[in-house]
Structure 1
């Protein structure tokens, strides 16, 4: 008999554990062997004895946490390359979330489970697009799993930003954009829309932008915002961490237009509370329609939900005859980074 994935893929205090391969996926606590889907801090944590991930994710972990933090042993696994671990065939498929992000595909004795990590379906020039993998159990995120969340095309939001720049050419547009993934994607979208002027960056964004460029992602001319005077920043675009746009760092800019790039900008009250004048609904997660489209494409009769609005998605799955299960994994989507990176 083919073993159901729930007999060999278990929820533990250390995260989702594949028993026959003896590995954990995105564990929140140190474990002997970890598979990491991508470099955001609620998924990639230090202290594991051995870490398996894409080459890009390992480089991001080293850049953010130092050499030792990425694991005592590091093994790079390019997407599509297969490994045999205790009779389990493991391979990674692109997730479309940020540079190096991957789904974890596990096959054992004829059963296949796919753990999505975080993912999106909109095109992104800075990372490989999501690839649906047919499976028996699909383990999905649910960050924006409510019908109200339907993300507009990112080009529409960038056009809104460029219209504001044309309308207020003397003002600096400072945009809150998370350092890993969102900042680089926004820069690439601006370049694709024809913005060729230098983009100014808060110092916290520079290292990962340089890393993206080392992996061949073209971002154009980038300049540190900290060394530019106010006059040079008139009519310019400045990117900063979301936390920086509300503090003294942003207030030193001359009459700034405060913007924020996030899927949460769909909620007007969030934009208002954050003092955001120009909300940009640009998300690195799948919206309601894309979550459901992805579940249709992978064809899994059973879907496990790791974090986010699992109640709404599980209810919607039941109405379609798909068995849904909320895993309630510890740590995922629970820190400031997970909120700002959305």
Structure 2
């Protein structure tokens, strides 16, 4: 298993030592490894802590596999680094023109304003446990929210790991076991499925929130009973995908994990060859947990 030190630590935390791979090799950003005649290095992807693009060079040609990435600023991870290449493999989670993510601090402002409007209600935020949860917390701290934030037990281990790597998340407390009165007016974060299920019903008249790029689609929010949708995504939006494809300068781009057809058509209008690389086993960012 070859990955950044942060990714290997996350794997051990989430999957356990036995399932995380018996042989683990850490490769920090910028370090180079010779592998079967190929020069390989990892570059920041800006998706979550430790996320990386794979940069491979052989016989004067360079290929870059992006993995999941975003271009928006995130206080919890290293920013995305565009790498010029001949072949670029890009994700396409939000590869439709309708997906243009707002400033995440604007969404945090909506949340804090809603908390002032309903000070007696518990605000329960559904957020994916790796990356999204920690980013939402860090954005809240940047916005000046310094009160304790209560977490579903499933989110505590990765938050603790982020803090071990120097990401300051402030005062975090387990929500389980807290009385309803103690959570009145508080902010609670849990996995997306938990905040729309029985787990959140024991809170004080909860305002169900959801932090996801998919909250741009109002039907999704309504279908899941979300009262306050927060459009905060850890993936590049339509404009950022096109910007990235332009910046890397690749003559050919393979597209996967999303709306391949729309992005490939847009690339063709820019005289860039595109093709769909269809992989099995991927799903929505807020439904994968």
TM > 0.5: yes
Unaligned runs of 5+ in 1: 1-50
How far the C-alpha of 1:71 sits from its partner, in A, is: 1.2
Q: Tell me, in whole angstroms, the C-alpha distance in 2 between the residues paired with 1:311 and 1:165.
A: 41
Q: Conserved in 2, the CA contact under 8 Å of 1:171 and 1:257?
A: yes
Partner of 2:51: 101
* Cα deviation code 1:54-103 (max 9, x no counterpart): 00000011111111212121000001000001110000000000010000
Q: How does 1:155-304 map to 2 (within 5 A)?
A: 155-304=105-254
Q: Tell me, in whole angstroms, the C-alpha distance in 2 between the residues paired with 1:341 and 1:314.
A: 25
Partner of 2:19: 69
Partner of 2:287: 340
Q: Conserved in 2, the CA contact under 8 Å of 1:262 and 1:341?
A: no
* Cα deviation code 1:231-264 (max 9, x no counterpart): 1111110000001012111111111100000000
Unaligned runs of 5+ in 2: none
Q: Tell me, in whole angstroms, the C-alpha distance in 2 between the residues paired with 1:124 and 1:70.
A: 26
Q: Conserved in 1, the CA contact under 8 Å of 2:127 and 2:286?
A: no
How far the C-alpha of 1:307 sits from its partner, in A, is: 1.5
Q: Tell me, in whole angstroms, the C-alpha distance in 2 between the residues paired with 1:339 and 1:157.
A: 17
Partner of 1:81: 31
Q: Conserved in 1, the CA contact under 8 Å of 2:215 and 2:231?
A: yes
How far the C-alpha of 1:227 sits from its partner, in A, is: 2.0
- Whether 1:114 and 2:34 are equivalent positions in the alignment is no
Q: TM-score if structure 2 supplies the norm length?
A: 0.98
How far the C-alpha of 1:341 sits from its partner, in A, is: 6.4
Q: Conserved in 2, the CA contact under 8 Å of 1:198 and 1:222?
A: yes
| Aligned alpha-carbon RMSD (Å) | 1.1
Given candidates 79, 88, 92, the residue that maps to 1:142 is 92
Q: Tell me, in whole angstroms, the C-alpha distance in 2 between the residues paired with 1:330 and 1:91.
A: 25
How far the C-alpha of 1:340 sits from its partner, in A, is: 3.5
Tell me the matched-pair count.
Answer: 289
Q: Tell me, in whole angstroms, the C-alpha distance in 2 between the residues paired with 1:279 and 1:108.
A: 46
Report the secondary structure of 1:227's partner residue.
coil
Q: Conserved in 2, the CA contact under 8 Å of 1:142 and 1:313?
A: yes
Report the secondary structure of 1:69's partner residue.
coil
Q: Tell me, in whole angstroms, the C-alpha distance in 2 between the residues paired with 1:185 and 1:330.
A: 28
Structure 1 residue ranges (4+ consecutive) displaced by more than 4 angstroms after TM superposition: none
Q: Conserved in 1, the CA contact under 8 Å of 2:86 and 2:250?
A: yes
Q: Tell me, in whole angstroms, the C-alpha distance in 2 between the residues paired with 1:252 and 1:81.
A: 49
How far the C-alpha of 1:202 sits from its partner, in A, is: 0.6
| Relative contact order higher in (CA < 8 Å, ≥ 6 apart) | 2
How far the C-alpha of 1:300 sits from its partner, in A, is: 0.6
Q: TM-score if structure 1 supplies the norm length?
A: 0.83
* Cα deviation code 1:108-155 (max 9, x no counterpart): 110000000000000000000000000000000000000000000000
Q: Tell me, in whole angstroms, the C-alpha distance in 1 between the residues paired with 2:56 and 2:253.
A: 15
Q: Conserved in 2, the CA contact under 8 Å of 1:176 and 1:261?
A: yes
